[in-house]
Amino acid sequence: MNKIWILARMTFHEAIRRRIVLTGLVLGILFLIIFSVGFHMISREVANDGENRPVLMARVMQNEMSSFMLNAGLYAVAFLSVAMGALLSADALAGEISSGTIQTVLTKPIRRSDVVLGKWLGFAGLLALYLLLMAGGAVLIVFVLSGYIPQSILKALLLMYLESLLVMTFALMCSSAMPGLATGGTVFGLYGLAFIGGWIEQIGAIFNNHTAVQVGIVTSLLFPTEAIWRRAAFEMQTSVATILQMSPFTTISVPSVVMVVYALFYLLGTLAIAVWVFQNRDI
């Protein structure tokens, strides 16, 4: 276990030195700046409009606007975290195998499983910090400017972290068997499939089309990222949004807790496959 922690620290520090992390951090800070300016301007317009309305209605409008803007911001954060997870691990094993670096590591008394688990743990720690900065920053901006904070925000953030871990782990599994470019194409292809399937399920739920709903569920079983995001959005949505279904971020077909448990087992199974493939690969 000590070797895994050592490899995790090495992976963490190496990842920080990579340009992709610096680029992601700079773009993330720019996103938060733009988000704060945009939220401030829209919030001010809503407040001005609410001056001519009853106090209760003005407060509801302000809360719904804040909820919508925060969900939109967190949706962008979720995508950035997913992209960060995929780009970090897509070439983690494949790159070291092709360059021969992995042979130097494996000459030491280190098991191949330790390498995979150490890299996974290092990337997971980096993703946690990135998501905390981005999502925490968006939530803090909304709270400071409007005083609004969504219900069950901690559950939602944990689910968003699970989504990014799913993508990172799947990319690491593919990296143990395929080149980095093929891994990236596979991961983002499945992510896009899950995204489309999720919207098909939502639209099917609006029109009571059970076939469309089933299509969405099947895509969620193939790659449960979009289902996890929709569960996170459901945890944050207001009762007014649930009743009126007036926002594109309103979850109509709500993924169950069973789907969340399935995603956890999906993650563990994917990690186990990554270890098995890397152990049996001819290097």
Spatial CA neighbour of 89 closest among 123, 54, 132, 41: 123
Query: For the chain, percent helix, then strand, then coil, each to nearest 5?
Result: 85, 0, 15
What is the full per-residue pLDDT of the chain (283 aa) written as tens digits?
Answer: 677 888 888 888 888 877 778 888 888 899 999 999 999 998 888 777 766 666 667 777 788 888 889 999 999 999 999 999 998 888 887 777 776 666 666 666 778 888 899 999 999 999 999 999 999 999 999 999 988 998 889 999 999 999 999 999 999 999 988 888 889 899 999 999 999 999 898 888 888 899 999 999 999 999 999 999 999 999 998 777 666 666 666 777 889 999 999 999 999 999 999 999 988 877 6
Range of the domain at 98: 2-280
How many independent structural domains does the chain possess? 1
The Cα–Cα gap between 58 and 72 comes to: 21
> Model pTM greater than 0.95?
no
Distance CA 220, CA 46 (A): 37
Q: Are 70 and 142 in contact (CB under 8 A)?
A: yes
249: number of Cβ within 10 Å: 18
DSSP code for 254: P
CA pair distance 256, 241, nearest whole angstrom: 19
Helices (H), 223-256: 225-236, 239-244
The H-assigned helical ranges of 90-148 are: 94-99, 101-106, 112-146
